[in-house]
Structure 1
Amino acid sequence: MTTAETELPESATTPACRDGNVLRWLTAHTASLVGDSVYFVALAWSAQKAAGPTEVGLVLAAGALPRAILMLGGGVLADRVDPRRVILGSDALRCVLILSVAAAIALTAPALWLLVAVALVFGAVDALFVPAIGALPPRITGPDQLARVTGMRSLSVRLSQIAGPPLGGLAMGLGGEAATFAVAGLLFALSLPLLLTIRMRPLGTRTEEQPEPGTAREDLLGGLRYIRRHPLIGPLVAAGAVCELGLIGTLNVGMVLLNAERGWGPSGYGFIISGFGAGAAASAALLTVAGWLPRAGLMLSGTLLLCCAGAATVALVPTLWIAVVLAVVIGSSAGLFGSLNSTLVQTAADPACLGRVTSVVMLTMVGLAPLSYPLVGAAIGAWGAAPVFVGCGTFAVLGVAVTLSSGAVRRAELPRKRPA
Structure 2
Amino acid sequence: MEAVVNTKQEVVSPALWKNRNFLLLWIADLCSSFGLSIFMFSQSWYVVKVMGLEASLGLVFIASSIPRVIFMIIGGAIADRFNKNLIMFISDFTRALVAGALVFWLIFGDVSLWSFVIFAFIFGVLDAFFWPANGGLLPSLINKEQLTRANSIIQMTSQSSFIVGPMLAGAIIALGNYVTTFSITAGLLIVASIAVLLIKVKKKKLGEEEQTEPNLLSSIKEGITYVRQSAFLSALLVFAVLINLFMVGPLQMGLPLFVDNVLKGDSLIFSYLEGTLAGGMLVGSILIGILNIQKKRGLLVIFSVLFAGLIFSLFSQTGNLWQSLIMIGFLGGTFSVINIPIFAAVQSVVKEEMIGRVMSLLSMSSIGLVPVSFAITSGLLSIGVDVTQIMLGGGLLIVAVAILIYWKVTGLRNYN
Flag the 1:238–1:214 CA change in 2: closer, same or farther, 3 A: farther
Say whether the 8 Å CA contact 1:63–1:120 is kept in structure 2.
yes
Amino acid at match of 2:233: I
* Percent of aligned positions that are identical: 21
Partner of 2:68: 67
Change (3 A) 1:19 1:286: farther
Shift of 1:333: 2.6
Q: Deviations over 1:215-251 (max 9, x none)?
A: 2122222212211112322222322322222333454
Q: CA 1:183–1:306 in 2, change beyond 3 Å: closer, same or farther? A: closer
Deviation for aligned residue 1:78: 1.0
- Asked if 2 retains the 8 angstrom alpha-carbon contact of 1:15 and 1:145, the reply is no
How much does 1:354 deviate? 1.8
Instruction: After TM superposition, give the deviation of residue 318 of structure 1 in Å.
Output: 9.6
Q: Which residue is equivalent to 1:220? A: 220
Amino acid at match of 1:247: M
The residue matched to 1:27 in structure 2 has which SS?
helix
- The AA in structure 1 aligned to 2:406 is V
C-alpha change, 1:39 and 1:300, in structure 2 (3 Å) is closer
Question: Partner of 1:137 in structure 2?
Answer: 138
Report the Cα offset of residue 148 of structure 1.
0.9
User: 2:355 aligns to what?
Assistant: 354
Normalization by structure 1: what TM-score?
0.77
Alignment partner, residue 36 of structure 2:
36
**Structure 1 residues 147-181: Cα deviation after superposition (integer angstroms, max 9, x where no partner):** 11211122122122222234445666789454443
Residue 81 of structure 1 and its aligned partner are, at CA, apart by: 1.0
Shift of 1:311: 4.0
User: Aligned partners of 1:246 and 1:171: how far apart in 2?
Assistant: 33
Match of 1:109 in 2: 109
- Residue of structure 1 in register with 2:7 after alignment: none
Q: Structure 1 residues 369, 111: closer, same or farther in 2, change over 3 A?
A: closer
Q: 3-state DSSP class of the match of 1:86? A: helix
Moved more, 90-99 or 333-342: 90-99
RMSD: 4.0
Report which stretch shifted further, 344-353 or 171-180: 171-180
Structure 1 stretch displaced more, 116-125 or 166-175? 166-175
Counterpart of 1:88 in structure 2 is 89
Which of 366, 385, 396 is the aligned partner of 1:390? 396
Task: Find the aligned partners of 2:277 and 2:28 in 1 and give their Cα distance.
Answer: 26
Q: Contact 2:162/2:275 (CA < 8 Å) preserved in 1?
A: no
Q: Unmatched 5+ residue regions in structure 1?
A: 1-11, 205-210, 413-420
Q: Match of 1:139, as an amino acid?
A: S
What SS class does the counterpart of residue 240 from structure 2 fall into?
helix
In 1, the alpha carbon distance for the partners of 2:170 and 2:312 equals 31
How far apart, in 2, do the equivalents of 1:175 and 1:259 lie?
Answer: 18
1:148 matched to 2:152: no
**CA–CA distance in 2 between the matches of 1:300 and 1:92?**
35
Equivalents in 1 of 2:102, 2:253: separation in Å?
Answer: 30
Residue 183 of structure 2 corresponds to: 182
**Is residue 244–residue 367 contact of structure 2 (8 Å, CA) maintained in 1?**
no
8 Å contact from structure 1 (residues 242, 398) kept in 2: no
Deviations 1:279-338 (A, max 9, x none): 322110122334444433333333333334444565578998676555444332332111
The correspondence of residues 244-393 of structure 1 with structure 2, limited to 5 A, is 244-253=244-253, 265-266=264-265, 276-311=277-312, 325-375=326-376, 378=380, 381=385, 384=389, 386=392, 389-393=395-399
Distance 1:284-1:271 versus aligned 2 partners, 3 A rule:
same
Output the CA distance in 1 between the equivalents of 2:318 and 2:118. 44
Partner of 1:76: 77
Amino acid at match of 1:197: L
Q: Distance in 1 between matches of 2:153 and 2:253?
A: 28
Go from structure 1 to structure 2 and tell me whether the alpha carbon gap of 1:291 and 1:127 turns closer, same or farther (over 3 Å shift).
same
Calculate the TM-score normalised by the size of structure 2: 0.77
Number of equivalent positions:
391
- In 2, Cα distance between the equivalents of 1:170 and 1:306? 32
Once the two structures are superposed, residues 59-109 of structure 1 have per-residue CA deviations (whole angstroms, 9 ceiling, x without a partner) of 554333323322222112111112111111212222233334434554x22
Structure 2 residue runs of 5 or longer lacking an equivalent are: 1-11, 206-210
